[in-house]
Amino acid sequence: MCRARFIFILGALLWTAFQLSAAALSDSDCLDCHGDKTLTETNASGRVISLFVDAARFAASVHKTNTCVACHTDATARHPDDNVPLKPVNCAICHPRNTESYNASVHGLAFKAGHRNAATCQDCHDSHDIIAGNSTLSPMFPVRQAQTCGRCHPGEAKDWAASVHGKAVASGNRDAPVCTDCHSEHKVESLKSSLQISEEVCARCHASERMNTKYNLPDDRVKTFFESYHGLASEYGSTVAANCASCHGCHRILPSSDPNSTINRAHLVETCGKCHPGATANFAFGHIHVAPNGEAAGSEISARANRWVRDIYLTLIFAVVGAMFVHNLLLFLKKAAARLGAGARPVLRMSLAQRWQHMFLAGSFIILAITGFALKFPDSWPAKLLGSSEPLRRWMHRIAGIILIASGIWHLFYLLVSPDGRRLARDLFPVKKDIADVWCAARYLSGLSDQKPRIGRFGYAEKMEYWAVVWGTVIMGVTGLMIWFNISVTHWAPRWVVDVALTIHYYEAVLACLAIVVWHFYHVIFDPDVYPINPACLDGRVTREWEQHEHPLAVERATKAMKRPVELENSQKKN
C-alpha cells in the first residue's frame, strides 16, 4: 500500500516537473529551430512564409523585453513534435483598443469573413522585428507606408507615389498625407461615402487655416465645395453626388497644370462627362469653387460677374426691403388706433378668375420658397420638413416652377382676351398720378401733412407689387430654366453664364420672399383694417366702408357710372 502511494506521488511529481519544464521554454529553445534561415512554411493560401527569427533584430525591436511564450502562449516543449501548429498570436492581450479598431476595419471584417489574404497585424508591423512607428526603419513610417501597403495594393501605391502628396512626402514633407492619414490607422476604411471623403478626409487639411497659410493654398476650397450643388446634395444624403475624389482622383492627385491631371483643361470635358453625359467645353471650363458671395474673385469673369450681381442685389435688397419696412411700419402705427367693425361686403374687388389665378400663384410661390431654401440649406428646418430625399425636393421645386410659369401665361392670356382682364391691365398700368400719390403718402406718413392720397381702383402700393411679381416671375422663370437645362445652355454660352444665373436666382428669391413678408402680408394680413386677412382673396368682396376709405376715387367713379344711365333715361323722357 505504501509502495503504491509512493509510486503515485512520484508520478505526480514527475508529471508536474514535465509541465513546468514545458511551460518554462526559453527563447534559446525556440531559436534552436527558428534561428535557421531556411525554415519555411506554406500557409493555407499557398504562400511560402519564412519562420526564421533574427535574434539580433528581435533584440532591437519594441518587444525586446518579451519572451517568445509571452506572445505564443500555447507553445510547449512538445512543439513541434506533437504536430500541433501554434495558434495565431493574439495581440489583443496587450493591445486591446488597437485590436478592437482592427476588427472593425475592412481588413478585420474581411479576415472574419474567411479571406485569409486580408492584412493582419504582422503584415503591416512585421512579426518579430517590430519597430516603433516614429523610427525611419519602421514599415509604418510615412515614407515607407506606400511600400508596406503596396504589397497588397500595388496600383494604389504607385498612383500615390506619383501624386502631389507622394512627391511631397518623398521630399521630406510630413504634413502631406500618407495612407493612414486618409484611411485611418487600425480601423482602415474604404472611403465610399461621398460626404465622408469631402468632410472628414480632404477637409482635414484643405480646411485647415494652418495648412493653407503654411503652404499658400486657397483657403476656400472646402467651403465653396459645400456651397455648390455637389456639396449640398452630399450633405443631405446623396450617394451619387460628386465629391473631391470624383474630380481630383483618389490616389493619383495631380495639380491642374499637369497634363495627366483629371482637372487639366485637356481632360475636364471627360471628367465632367462621367456624371454629366453630353457635357461641353463651355460647361466643363466653368469654375466649381465659385463662392456665391464673390470672395473667391480673382480676375475670372465668372467670379467678377457673380461679385457684381451679389453687390447689386445686396444693395437692392437692403434699399427696397428697408423702404418697404419703414413704409409699412408707419402705416401700421397710423391704422392701429382705429378698427372697423364687421359689416356687409357688397363691393367686388376680385373676380372668380382672378381669385383662381391668385391661388395658383400663391401656392406655387410658397412651395418654391420652401423647396428652394431646402435645396440651398439642406440642414435647415424646411429641408428636414421635406425628409431626406434630395430628388423629391428638386422635383417639387421644378413642378412648382412650371405651375408658376403656367400661371403667368394664363394671366397674360386673361389680360389679352377677357374684358375684365383688359380693364385690370388698364387700371394696373402706372400713370403720372402714382408719382404724386407716393409723394403725398410720404408727407402723410411722416406727419408733414394730414391729407392722404386719393386712390382709385389700384394705388401705387398695388401697382408696385403687381409689376414686381411680373418682373420676378420672368427672372425666376428664365434663370430657373437655365439652371435646370444647364447642359443645353452651355451649347451656346459659357459655363459662367449658368453660374451667374444661379446667383441671380438665389438673390431674387431672397428679395421676393422678403418683399412678400414685409409688403404683401402687411396689406392683406397685418393691416389693422383687414386683420386677420383681407377677405377679397377668398370670396372677392370687401365692405363699402373699406372701399371708401382705401379707394375713394374708385367709389366716386362707380357712383358716377351708376348715375349716368339714370340721367340719360331722364333726359330722354323730357325730350
pLDDT in tens, 490-546: 999 999 999 999 999 999 999 999 999 999 999 999 998 888 788 888 888 888 888
Query: What kind of fold does domain 301-562 have according to CATH?
Result: Fumarate Reductase Cytochrome B subunit (1.20.950)
Average pLDDT over residues 409-434: 95
How many whole angstroms separate alpha carbon 157 and alpha carbon 170? 13
Q: How much is the mean pLDDT over the chain?
A: 87
Cis, bond preceding 382 (omega within 30 deg of 0): no
| More confidently predicted of 130 and 286 | 130
Tens-place pLDDT, residues 313-365:
999 999 999 999 999 988 888 875 554 445 677 889 999 999 999 999 999 99
pLDDT of 297 strictly over 80: no
Q: What b/e string do you get for 547-565 counting C-beta neighbours within 10 Å, with b at 16 or more?
A: bebbbeebbeeeeeeeeee
Mean pLDDT, rounded, for 451-468: 93
* Mean pLDDT along residues 190-201: 84
State the Cα–Cα distance between residues 253 and 263, nearest whole angstrom. 9
Domain residue extents for the chain: 39-189, 301-562
pLDDT attached to residue 572: 53
pLDDT at 22 over 60: no
Instruction: Please state which of the ranges 42-56, 124-138, 366-380, 451-465 shows the lowest mean pLDDT.
Output: 42-56
Place of cell 398700368: 429
pLDDT at residue 312 tops 60: yes
Predicted confidence at residue 186, as pLDDT, reads 92
For residue 81, count other CB atoms closer than 10 A to its CB.
Answer: 7
Q: Which of 153, 176, 175 is nearest to 166 (CA)?
A: 176
Helix (H) or strand (E) holding 348: strand 347-348
Mean pLDDT for 252-268 is: 93
pLDDT confidence tier of residue 114, bands split at 50, 70 and 90: confident
Q: What per-residue confidence (pLDDT) applies to 11?
A: 53
Between 299 and 257, the more confident residue is: 257
Confidence of residue 564 (pLDDT cuts 50, 70, 90): low
- CB of 163 within 8 A of CB of 263? no
- Percentage of residues of the chain with pLDDT beyond 70: 90
Give dist(CA 72, CA 34) in Å, integer.
13
Residue 214 pLDDT grade (very low, low, confident, very high; cuts 50, 70, 90): very high
Give me the pLDDT at residue 295, please. Answer: 55
pLDDT by residue (tens digit) across 2-13?
A: 555 655 565 555
Secondary structure letter of residue 91 according to DSSP: G
CA separation for the pair 32, 193 (Å, rounded): 51
Instruction: Give pLDDT, residue 9.
Output: 62
In the block, residue with C-alpha cell 407689387:
465
Q: What is the pLDDT of residue 18?
A: 45
Q: pTM higher than 0.85, yes or no?
A: no
pLDDT at 334: 80
| Residue 20 confidence (pLDDT) above 80 | no
CA distances from 362 to 207, 368, 407, 475, 520 (A): 42, 10, 10, 17, 11
Question: Residue 433 in 3-state DSSP?
Answer: helix
DSSP labels for 8-73? HHHHHHHHHHHHHHHHT--HHHHHHHHT-TT-EEE-TTS-EEE----HHHHHTSTTTTS-HHHH-T
What is the predicted pLDDT for the residue at 338? 52
Using the predicted structure, report yes or no on whether residue 252 has a pLDDT greater than 80: yes
Rounded to 10°, the helix 301-335/495-515 angle is 10
Question: Which is more confident, 234 or 192?
Answer: 234
What average pLDDT score do residues 220-224 get? 89
Over range 138-159, report the average pLDDT: 92
In the block, which residue shows the cell 383662381?
356
Measured CA to CA, the distance from residue 458 to residue 426 in angstroms comes to 10
Q: Is the pLDDT of residue 463 over 70?
A: yes
Most confident stretch, 20-34, 36-50, 282-296, 555-569: 36-50
Cα distance between residue 149 and residue 153, in whole Å: 6
Percent of the chain with pLDDT over 90: 54
